[in-house]
C-alpha cells in the first residue's frame, strides 16, 4: 500500500498512459526502479530495458530512447548529466521523444537543468525527494522553469496523502525559515526495519501534538 501512494499520484499528476515508455536505467536493487516497473506497467505503458552492461553506457541508453520512442526518463541526476555530457550535440536528436524527466536521489544542479532545457525544450522536468522508509518519494517540485536569481532547486511540496514536517529537538513545529529536522508522515511511512526494533523505535516516532506517525529522515 505504501509504495502505491506515490505511484498513483504520479500516474494521475502527469497523465501517464499506455502510450508512455520509460527507460530502465536504475538497478532493480535501487528503489527508483519501483516506478519503472509498477507505475508504467500499471497504466499499460512499457518498460524499455537497454542492453545489459557492467558500466554506465549513455550511448546505448540514448539509442534505446530514440529507437523505442521513450517518453519518460527516471534516474539520479548524475546519470542524466553523464548522458548529456557524452552525447553533446547528438542529445537533441536522440532524446527528442522525452516528455517527462524525473530526477531524484541527489541534489539537482542548476546547470544540468539548463543543459537539459537546450536539448529537450518540451520536456517537463520534476525534482523529487523522499526516503526508502517512506516509500520512495514524498515530495515533488516542477523544475522546468526557474527564476534566474535562484541558487538551488527547492525541496518542493508533499505528494498526495503524504506530509512533511520541520521539527525542533522537542518535536515542535519550527517557524518559517528556522532550521530543524525533516520528518515524513502519511500513508507511505513504513512499519519499521525488519528484525531491528531499536532502530525502528529511534527512527519512527509519533508527532506529540497530532499523534501522526513520522519517519525521521536525518536531514
Question: d(Cα 30, Cα 24) in Å, to the nearest integer?
Answer: 11
Q: Count CA atoms closer than 13 A to 132's CA, side-chain side.
A: 9
What DSSP character marks residue 88?
G
Run of H or E residues at 44: none
pLDDT for the residue 27: 84
Write out the CATH class of domain 4-158. Answer: alpha beta
pLDDT for the residue 53: 77
pLDDT for the residue 39: 93
Q: Count CA atoms closer than 13 A to 217's CA, side-chain side.
A: 21
Question: d(Cα 219, Cα 215) in Å, to the nearest integer?
Answer: 11
Question: d(Cα 39, Cα 71) in Å, to the nearest integer?
Answer: 14
Cell output for 158: 508533499
Tens of pLDDT along the chain (219 residues)?
Answer: 667 888 999 999 999 999 999 999 988 888 888 999 899 989 999 999 988 876 789 999 999 999 999 999 999 999 999 999 999 999 999 999 999 999 999 999 999 999 999 999 999 999 999 998 998 899 999 998 888 888 899 989 999 999 999 999 999 999 999 999 999 999 989 999 999 999 999 999 999 999 999 999 988
pLDDT for the residue 54: 60
Judge contact between 91 and 84, C-beta under 8 A.
yes
Question: Where do the structural domains in the chain lie, given as residue ranges?
Answer: 4-158, 162-216
Judge contact between 101 and 122, C-beta under 8 A.
no
Which CATH number among 3.40.50.261, 2.30.38.10, 3.40.50.740, 2.30.29.30 corresponds to the domain 162-216? 2.30.38.10
Bridge partner residues of 126 (DSSP) = 102, 142
Cβ-count burial 115-138 (b if 16+ within 10 Å, e if not)? bbbebbeebebbbbbbbebbbbbb
Question: d(Cα 52, Cα 49) in Å, to the nearest integer?
Answer: 8
Nearest residue to 23 via CA among 73, 98, 84, 59: 73
Backbone angles phi, psi at 212, to 5 degrees: -65, 140
Question: d(Cα 199, Cα 78) in Å, to the nearest integer?
Answer: 30
Q: The pTM is what?
A: 0.93
Amino acid at each position: 500500500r505504501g509504495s502505491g501512494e506515490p505511484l498513483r499520484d504520479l500516474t494521475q499528476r502527469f497523465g501517464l498512459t499506455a502510450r508512455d515508455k520509460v527507460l530502465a536505467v536504475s538497478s532493480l536493487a535501487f528503489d527508483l526502479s519501483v516506478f519503472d516497473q509498477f507505475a508504467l506497467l500499471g497504466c499499460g505503458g512499457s518498460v524499455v530495458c537497454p542492453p545489459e552492461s557492467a558500466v554506465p553506457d549513455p550511448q546505448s541508453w540514448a539509442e534505446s530512447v530514440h529507437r523505442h520512442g521513450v517518453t519518460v526518463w527516471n534516474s539520479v541526476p548524475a546519470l542524466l548529466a553523464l548522458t548529456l555530457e557524452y552525447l553533446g550535440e547528438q542529445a537533441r536528436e536522440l532524446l527528442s521523444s522525452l516528455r517527462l524527466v524525473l530526477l531524484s536521489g541527489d541534489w539537482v544542479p542548476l546547470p544540468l537543468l539548463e543543459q537539459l532545457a537546450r536539448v529537450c525544450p518540451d520536456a517537463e522536468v520534476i525534482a523529487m525527494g523522499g526516503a526508502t522508509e517512506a516509500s520512495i518519494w514524498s515530495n515533488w517540485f516542477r523544475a522546468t522553469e526557474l527564476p534566474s536569481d535562484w541558487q538551488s532547486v527547492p525541496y518542493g511540496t508533499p505528494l498526495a496523502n503524504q506530509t512533511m514536517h520541520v521539527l525542533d529537538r522537542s518535536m515542535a513545529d519550527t517557524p518559517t525559515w528556522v532550521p530543524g529536522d525533516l520528518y515524513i508522515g502519511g500513508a507511505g511511512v513504513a512499519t519499521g526495519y525488519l528484525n531491528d526494533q531499536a532502530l525502528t523505535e529511534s527512527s519512527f516516532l509519533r508527532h506529540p501534538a497530532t499523534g501522526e506517525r513520522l519517519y525521521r529522515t536525518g536531514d
